[in-house]
Amino acid sequence: MKIEPRRRKVRILATLGPASSSYEQIRALYLAGADAFRLNMSHGGHEGHTEVVGHIRALERETSRPMTILADLQGPKIRIGRFDAPVELKNGQRFTLDRHDTPGSTTRAFLPHPEIFGVTEPGQRLLIDDGKVALRVLAVTPDAIETEVAVGGRLSSNKGLNVPDAVVPLAALTEKDRRDLDFALDAGVDWVALSFVQRPEDVAEARRLIGGRAQLLAKIEKPQALDRLSEILEIADAVMVARGDLGVEMPPEAVPMAQKRIVQAARKAGRPVVVATQMLESMITSPTPTRAEVSDVANAVYDGADAVMLSAESAAGAWPVEAVRMMDAIASAVETDPEHARRVHFTETLLEPTTADALSGAAGQIAGTISARAVCCFTTSGSTARRASRERINVPLLVLTPKLATARQLGLLWGVHAVHTRDVNDFEEMVSKAKRMALRASVAGSGDRIIIMAGVPFGTPGSTNVLHIARLTGDELKSRK
């Protein structure tokens, strides 16, 4: 099957689940516009995930296109204990969280997380069931947290609890996460997403365990992570604006500002950024989104996010293919807006004083000046492609790499069309191959000019030092690959 490069620059990350786990369903999502696939390790077992990875790799072989897989670790979710039956809490009543492992009632519940008792202070908030029930802490002892119900509601077994006003001394990787991480790396995933990051040390620990076998994405869903965002960006390979828990732990009206801040900081740091959660939420049950949801997706595209993500919409919804198709249509429409190119450059990405950064910045300027149709980038590690993507060059970015792992990892980057191909040995071969591949990928035609970026000596990671302009004649297609 011949697959033309996406004309759309922003990438679509689709979560797979019960509604989209078969080969046929995954193939349909890809053809509808999905560029990368997310495995939610909070749901399903390793056997099921192994089958899904196999389907994705089979699709990769069918399409001859590198496929990107992200494994999203569950993280240290805090939960209250069990109830014999749901209870109703009323505003103003007293409610206790304690360390007694007995069924809860209208006055108390078991909290099986002793570390919470050591960091909670009077005046702080405790949020249960995604904020549906809110408690205000009155007093704390080693065995009990006395609270007043600020927002009442229904409470039942094992609901999640958020502690937005304190840094909880929980390891970012639970024992389950470690098992899931080992599985994901053995399965050959390309990205690992780390949940509930609070501090850069969390990211450093995960990076040590990954050992270079995959790229690491830090999910920003805790206010504490926002406080140390620049440090996290130094260690992570990418970040995600995870608006679900972020919207629970901070006021809803503050989430849009946090999203803008994270996207801008990530782009300045040259890190890919994914905007996620509830983007087309109504399409879980409806074949069409709300106009507000359409605007939400468009806003992320205008801001220059590398990718937008579908969660339950594609994993468990009734309209998974339609949700991907709608997100593709929204993003594609935004990118045809003449204002889009200007808006994505509202964020100034300062070049570092390196040859590679200088050439990446120059490539964008030259492309506009001479109306080049594409930038062709040779890379082994992917660093050249990341720099070029960071500049949001307004022409297709064709990336040629001899490493399949690199081609797969680049699937989350803005504007990148990665091709796994043999490496080149000299300058003449580089130019010839770039012209030939640009024609085959249909990013340029006979008579068009392309910009070529590479490093000499060839095959040396991180050595980008060549920028060359070439004109296509059309004869390149007659040459051997």
> Mind listing the pLDDT tens digit for each residue in 180-189?
999 999 999 9
Query: Which among 57, 63, 77, 79 is annotated as catalytic?
Result: 79
What is the per-residue pLDDT for 481?
Answer: 45
Q: Report the share of the chain in percent with pLDDT over 70.
A: 97
Band (pLDDT 50/70/90 cuts) for residue 354 is confident
What is the per-residue pLDDT for 3?
Answer: 62
Q: Which residues contact 323 (CB under 8 A, 6 or more apart)?
A: 280, 283, 289, 310, 313, 314, 317
Cβ atoms of 391 and 349 closer than 8 Å:
yes
> Mind listing the pLDDT tens digit for each residue in 19-70?
999 999 999 999 999 999 999 999 999 999 999 999 999 999 999 999 999 9
Domains observed in the chain: 11-75+171-337 (3.20.20.60), 87-162 (2.40.33.10), 355-478 (3.40.1380.20)
Band (pLDDT 50/70/90 cuts) for residue 259 is very high
17, 42, 43, 144, 313 from 49: Cα distances, Å: 9, 11, 9, 40, 19
Residue 87 has pLDDT above 70, yes or no: yes
H-state helical runs in 134-196: 175-187
Query: Which among 11, 27, 38, 159 is annotated as catalytic?
Result: 38
> Mind listing the pLDDT tens digit for each residue in 324-340?
999 999 999 999 999 99
Residue 133 has pLDDT above 50, yes or no: yes
Reply yes or no on whether 401 is catalytic: no
**Bridge partner list, 68:** 36
H-state helical runs in 175-319: 175-187, 200-210, 223-227, 229-235, 243-249, 255-269, 291-302, 312-315
Q: Which residues contact 363 (CB under 8 A, 6 or more apart)?
A: 375, 388, 391, 393, 451, 453, 467
Q: Which residues contact 29 (CB under 8 A, 6 or more apart)?
A: 14, 16, 20, 37, 314, 320, 321, 324
What is the per-residue pLDDT for 353?
Answer: 81
Mean per-residue pLDDT, 160-173: 87
| C-alpha closest to that of 476 among 424, 425, 426, 441 | 441
What is the per-residue pLDDT for 473?
Answer: 84
Mean per-residue pLDDT, 145-165: 94
What is the per-residue pLDDT for 480?
Answer: 43
Q: Report the share of the chain in percent with pLDDT over 90.
A: 80
What is the per-residue pLDDT for 352?
Answer: 80
Q: How far apart are CA 355 and CA 465, in angstroms?
A: 6
Residue 207 has pLDDT above 90, yes or no: yes
Structure tokens at 435: 């012209």
Query: Which among 219, 222, 392, 436 is annotated as catalytic?
Result: 219
> Mind listing the pLDDT tens digit for each residue in 410-468?
999 999 999 999 989 889 999 999 999 999 888 999 899 999 998 877 767 767 888 99
Query: Which among 15, 120, 277, 380 is annotated as catalytic?
Result: 277
Reply yes or no on whether 219 is catalytic: yes
Residue 476 has pLDDT above 70, yes or no: no
What is the per-residue pLDDT for 168?
Answer: 85
